[in-house]
Amino acid sequence: MCTSLVYRDAAGRSYFGRTLELTIDLPYLITWFPKGFAMSSQIANHPPVRITTQYGVFAVTMPARIPTQDNPIGPRDLKVLEGLNDQGLTFSLLSYPTAAGDEVPVPSETAVLSASDLGLWALGQFRSVAEVKAALVTQPVMLEALAMLGGVVSPFHYLVNDASGASLVIEFHQGKMSVYDNPVRVLTNAPPFDWHLTNLDNYTYLSNVDRPTATFGDYLASQPDSGVATSGLPASNTSVGRFVRAAFYAQYTEKVETPDRAVTTLAHVMNNFDRPRGVTIDLPEAGISHLEVKGLDEAGDGAATEFTCWTSLSDLDRKLFFLRSYDTFNYTRFDLTALAGADRPLVLPSKRFGADALEGTAALLESARD
């Protein structure tokens, strides 16, 4: 599934981190959409919503369809899964398999935005959560079947954050769209977002202060190690458990002074949500209806295992984006200010980026010769 949170440093600057988990690796593309990029979003039997970007957008994207020799994938076929614009607005798509259902009818003459285009629509045209929220009042949005996911109807909900710390959840639950202000700046997966907030009421006892001793009768119990404060955190990788843990880490992690240290700190936080292959497995006979992609494991025995395909970090103030794939230790850094000079779309496969940890053996041996 997916985990996202906003970390704020000592000066109140916002940094956003998220993981993306699926049962298979998909053909992710790293994309730059420049200011002035034009496209249309259309739902069948409705006029299109025309989008022209007012801001530069950096994104992790996916093609909306399967390419053919006569009809290759172009920038207008790409859908934003995760992105940051040059105003410090972020957009995230997270798994939500109970999204589909009967939707409220919209008059046929009304232009309707496909939920698949929410990312570029928001990042390309707005600077803040408040602007996105206001625009959604008059812009109908509908789900659609996704060819790249085998025809599954958009099994996602959506998160928007801005540099001021404002956060917004756009959620379809069984077809009904709801828009929530997000005071904890955390999002995982189902149940509905408002359920997660109510569930946090069960964790008012949480604190980051260790209580290392307690008396039981005449016995003085004493902890042999630090960290007992976290023993009340949910340990599971369920959406419910991860939501509580993410809220805890966002609240209590040290608020550092500098942006560079803040990015490093956020990377440490997100490590707590990194999932290796095989940690949990869904067997076919048990049913895997909660999985939005019915992928197979590499052994081909029908068991599905979710893993962290990639983790991203966004520095909303400096407009920096960092990406790390499952196969690498290190993050690749992208600077939106430097990309602003590119006046056409730029697209590369995500597998072109990243590298293993730097090899230090040669440098260490070289020091012996000094």
Is 226 within a domain?
A: no
Domain count, the chain: 1
Q: Is the bond leading into 191 cis (omega within 30 degrees of zero)?
A: yes
The burial class, CB within 10 Å (0-12 / 13-18 / 19+), for 56 is: buried
Q: Distance (Å, rounded) from C-alpha 177 to C-alpha 81? A: 19
- Asked whether residue 233 is domain-assigned, the answer is no
Is the sign of the CA dihedral 261, 262, 267, 268 positive or negative? Answer: positive
206, part of any domain: no
Does the residue 23 lie in any domain?
A: yes
Instruction: Flag whether 56 is in a domain.
Output: yes
Q: Please list the pLDDT of the chain residue by residue as tens digits (370 residues).
A: 799 999 999 999 999 999 999 988 889 999 999 999 999 999 999 999 999 999 999 999 999 888 888 888 899 999 999 999 999 999 999 999 899 888 888 999 999 999 999 999 999 999 999 999 999 999 999 999 888 777 888 999 999 999 999 999 999 999 999 999 999 999 999 999 999 999 999 999 999 999 999 999 999 999 999 999 999 999 999 999 999 999 999 999 999 999 999 999 999 999 999 999 999 888 766 655 555 554 444 445 567 889 999 999 999 999 999 999 999 989 999 999 999 989 999 999 998 886 666 667 677 567 777 6
Strands 2-8 and 14-22: antiparallel
**Are 14 and 163 contacting, i.e. CB atoms less than 8 angstroms apart?**
yes
pTM: 0.93
**199 falls within a domain:** no
Query: Does some domain include residue 220?
Result: no
Q: Which of 91, 41, 86 is nearest to 61 (CA)?
A: 91
Which CATH number do you get for residue 171?
A: 3.60.60.10
- The answer to whether residue 368 sits within a structural domain is no
| Cβ neighbours for 328, distance < 8 A, ≥ 6 positions apart | 354, 355, 356
Tell me the residue range of the domain where 58 lies: 2-190+239-357
What is the separation of C-alpha 253 from the centre of its chain, rounded to a whole number of angstroms? 20
